[in-house]
């Protein structure tokens, strides 16, 4: 089961930490086909090469979903 420890905020320049403890680096981002107002960001660990796909919801999309 997944566990959320930290959430990156809108416009954050923070990089997520890898499972090995190293700071991951940003590789690329792009829109998703599944839902408007979202994008997927890809991060990779320079130490162990683990990859992380992180889905990001744009703030205006979150506001519309809450209504």
State residue 52's pLDDT score: 92
Task: Enter the tokens of residue 49.
Answer: 């090469």
Q: Determine the pLDDT at residue 10.
A: 57
User: pLDDT for 16-67, tens place per residue?
Assistant: 899 999 999 999 988 777 667 788 889 999 999 999 988 877 665 445 544 5
Q: Largest alpha-carbon pair distance within the chain? A: 43
Q: Quote the pLDDT of residue 45.
A: 97
Q: What does the domain layout of the chain look like in residue ranges?
A: 25-66
- Residue range 3-7: average pLDDT? 59
Joined together, the tokens standing for residue 18 give 């890898």
pTM over 0.85: no
Enumerate residues 6+ apart whose C-beta is below 8 A from 40: 29, 30, 31, 32, 53, 54, 55, 56
pLDDT, average across residues 1-11 = 58
CA distance 38 to 40: 7
CB–CB of 51/57 below 8 Å?
no
């Amino acid at each position: 089961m997944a566990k959320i420890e930290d959430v990156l905020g809108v416009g954050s320049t923070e990089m997520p930490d890898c499972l090995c403890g190293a700071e991951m680096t940003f590789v690329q981002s792009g829109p998703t086909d599944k839902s408007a107002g979202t994008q997927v960001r890809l991060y990779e660990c320079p130490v162990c090469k683990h990859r992380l796909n992180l889905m990001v919801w744009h703030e205006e999309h979150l506001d519309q979903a809450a209504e």
